[in-house]
Structure 1
Amino acid sequence: PGTDQKFGSAAAQIQSTATIPSGAKGMTVRIAADRPLDAQENQTAVDAYAQQILLATVQVTVTHLGWFKPGTTDLWELGDKVVVKSPMAFANDTGKLDLRVFTVTCSQSEAGTTTTMVLVSEAVFQRRFPDSNAGDPYNQTATPAKQEIAA
């Protein structure tokens, strides 16, 4: 929005920049605002767009035999940190990516037991668990619903 003191390019060409360090090198995405924004509103919109890119970037599903973490007698827990090595999938210097356990599904059949995990980036995990701690998945409660009177 323009004023008598702020007009022309200064009012019309507000922009913000967000960087995704693990993103494609040299790639720039420009988003046109759907309405006039001041500098703070524009920064908030760009931050939200960058978060949406991060949410859609990486989701890895891994299935392995057994219920325990390989080489241990410990069960997988939400939030466990996992390093996935796949030079074909992760085109960075190491071919590895640090991910967090987002969901765990254990199955049993006549063929044996398997564990399937969905792994996501730290940014996605923190979006679901802002304190970076998944807590006890077996002790979850919801607040009872309250009746509301329609206006």
Structure 2
Amino acid sequence: MRLPEQVPANEHLTMQIARQVYKLQVAENVIVFFRNGEPAYITKRFDLKPDGMRHGQEDLASLAGRTKHTAGSDFIYEGSYKEIAGIIKATVPAFRVELEKLFSLIVFNYLFSNGDAHLKNFSLIDTAYCDYVLSPAYDLICTRLHVIRTLP
């Protein structure tokens, strides 16, 4: 059964479990309710510096050179965790630390049935030291709750 009205609560809960139970770095987030009772899920931008300027941030689809024009309309799904790890290894000076974070995130996505872990949901962000690290996780959700399976 699809429950689209519960997507905001699902994503908020999944992100809170990731942060509070699994100690993953995730974007600050909250669920709010409109006057009519409809829920909305909000994440705080993590790419803004204290002076209002933006950190450099690139998603893994961009770093892999995948766009609609180069890889088709499903380009965000045309990648693998192994490829993400290779990009991190080639791009990030402290790649071993970041690969451990990536592995923890992959295990979390598996445990919580996050079928939306595509290339645009992983990013690298610059630091004050002019290098890059894996950005805080965003868009963590248990997609299994919202997918209808039809039996033959």
Instruction: State the TM bucket, normalised to the shorter chain.
Output: under 0.3
Instruction: Report the structure number with the largest CA radius of gyration.
Output: 1
TM-score by length of 2: 0.25
TM-score (norm 1): 0.25
Higher relative contact order (CA 8 A, sep 6+): 2
